[in-house]
Structure 1
Amino acid sequence: MANFNNSIDKVLVSEGGYVNDPNDRGGETKFGISKRAYPHIDIKNLTTDEAKAIYKQDYWDSIKGDEINSDLVAYEIFDTAVNMGSRTASKLAQVIIGSHPDGIIGVQSLAKLNEINEELFLVKYKLAKIARYAYLVKIRPENKKFLFGWINRVLGA
């Protein structure tokens, strides 16, 4: 089974430290935790351990990361959940594996995720993420400034 600790450090590196970009719809953000999503949290003083606890409960557990066999598959879906939301990350995975894309990883989706060819899934999933980012730029041109970074994140650059 996949291990949260194998994924969280990579996510925290991708998310970076404190940012308050006026073009970021999430607003004030630290370790990828946004004021918009967590208005009750003091973002500027958020600790790494607090961020890890949020990511475990609200993202990793929502994608059933502990029940996915492959660390690589779990990481990819988890990283996408952090960046796009758990429902979107789950829907993209469900489309790739041929499950009904309801945005909730359940028993059927888990079974398919645990049987799929890991390499093929990862290639298709990364392409789906890039297509989603292109769509986000199309519907909100202000997102263009983030596109290069998003694509680098997908490619692991």
Structure 2
Amino acid sequence: MANFNLFLPELLKAEGGYQNKLSDRKGNTNSLGQMVGTKYGISAPVYEAFIKRPPTVADMKNLPLSTAVLIAKKYYWDACNADEIENQSVANLIVDHYFNSGKRMFVKQVLKDRFGAKIKVDSKISRDTIALINASNPEFLHFEKKKPKPNNNATTIVKPSYSHAWDWLVFTNKKAFQR
């Protein structure tokens, strides 16, 4: 089963420390409309929900790593039921997307729209969704071999987009959607 402690180094490497970019107004702005930034990937609205008041720039800059880890585990990892996902890399992919997409659950929308899965599209992963994820071959979620070009014998390996990867995952499990 996947483990949060194995995901954490990847999260911290990707998210880093404090930032306050104008291009990320949604994540950097508290409920008072003040640009206060993010730290360790924890957005101002999420930190506000955690401390139960609008954070200041000083609050965000001084956000302890231990608090950010607690928030990441509770609001993201646990919200995705990632401990129940058998493959660590798949869990990392799902939680990373959830972390960076404003808690949108892309996998459920793809399962419903493209393959007719009887899944309620919300910000939670149900046990049925986990079962579909665990029943799938995780290898393609990370790498896909492209066919060689006519004048080139080399086969390249590329990382697919999220929706492409989930299309494949569901395509390989069509029977699970024929209820």
TM-score under structure 1 length normalisation? 0.71
- Supply the distance in 2 between the matched residues of 1:64 and 1:35 (Cα, whole angstroms): 23
Change (3 A) 1:97 1:79: farther
Q: Match for residue 14 of structure 2?
A: 14
Q: Would the aligned equivalents of 2:108 and 2:121 in 1 still touch at CA under 8 Å? A: yes
Secondary structure in 2 matching 1:33: coil
Q: Would the aligned equivalents of 2:109 and 2:121 in 1 still touch at CA under 8 Å? A: no
**Which is further off, 34-43 or 103-112?**
34-43
2:121 is equivalent to residue 102 of structure 1: yes
One-letter amino acid of the structure 1 residue matched with residue 162 of structure 2: A
Unaligned runs of 5+ in 1: 131-157
Q: Would the aligned equivalents of 1:16 and 1:31 in 2 still touch at CA under 8 Å? A: yes
One-letter amino acid of the structure 2 residue matched with residue 16 of structure 1: G
Change (3 A) 1:90 1:108: same
Structure with greater proportional helix content: 1
**Which is further off, 71-80 or 117-126?**
117-126
CA RMSD of aligned residues (A): 2.7
Percent identity between the aligned chains?
35
- Supply the distance in 2 between the matched residues of 1:45 and 1:121 (Cα, whole angstroms): 36
One-letter amino acid of the structure 1 residue matched with residue 46 of structure 2: A
* Cα distance, 1:63 vs structure 2: 0.5
Match of 1:127 among 153, 161, 165: 161
Change (3 A) 1:36 1:109: same
- Supply the distance in 1 between the matched residues of 2:65 and 2:106 (Cα, whole angstroms): 23
Match of 2:136 among 108, 111, 116: 116
Q: Would the aligned equivalents of 2:19 and 2:39 in 1 still touch at CA under 8 Å? A: yes
TM-score under structure 2 length normalisation? 0.63
One-letter amino acid of the structure 2 residue matched with residue 12 of structure 1: L
Match of 2:47 among 38, 42, 61: 38
**Which is further off, 26-35 or 93-102?**
93-102
Question: Aligned runs of 1:1-157 on 2, under 5 Å?
Answer: 1-25=1-25, 26-27=27-28, 28-39=37-48, 40=53, 41=55, 42-91=59-108, 94=111, 98=115, 99=117, 100=119, 102-103=121-122, 104-123=124-143, 126-128=160-162
Unaligned runs of 5+ in 2: 29-36, 145-158, 165-179
* Cα distance, 1:119 vs structure 2: 1.4
- Supply the distance in 1 between the matched residues of 2:62 and 2:111 (Cα, whole angstroms): 36
Q: Would the aligned equivalents of 1:35 and 1:43 in 2 still touch at CA under 8 Å? A: yes
